[in-house]
Amino acid sequence: MRWIGIDPGLRTTGFGVIDVNGQKLTYIASGTIESGDPAKGLPERLGALYAGMKEVLETYQPESAAIEEVFLNVNPRSTLMLGQARGAVIAALVSEKLPVAEYSALRVKQAIVGTGRAAKPQVQEMVKRLLRLNRAPGADASDALGVAICAAHHAQIPKAITAALAPKLGPKSAPKKRSK
């Protein structure tokens, strides 16, 4: 299964692509999409994020996507702008018919580092270790890879539960009909 993780931002949106085979995680690619000159209008910048994401999707052909949820900022205008950037990216994902999972930054940090209060350098180091990389990617790309890893782990939970219960439940059989 190929996952793409997204760390949305209006100026810079991080992306990370991994392959998951059982418990094995394989790094495929990561990077950032820039929205362009802040002096440009918001519609042009959102269009650049949408087009950039479409190009990444075409290049790496993920099967599922995960994106970080927007957190409430002290500045309502910043929160609104981030939400619009996130919306442009989600539009690109769903235009490719990808299922999209959403995770809070707290949940991603818990999945990667073990604590929701982890600092960015801790996330970068754990992403580097989990994907067996020579060096940690940049902050935005590491955060995006963290989102992809979190999603991959959460996707495996139902399979693990089913596998653990299978020996106890026995082979599947049709339910017995009750007589009246």
Annotated catalytic residues are 7, 68, 140
CA distance 109 to 106: 5
Residue 37 has φ and ψ, to the nearest 5°, of: -60, 125
CA distance 49 to 24: 30
CA 34, 37, 40, 41 torsion-angle sign: positive
CA distance 124 to 17: 15
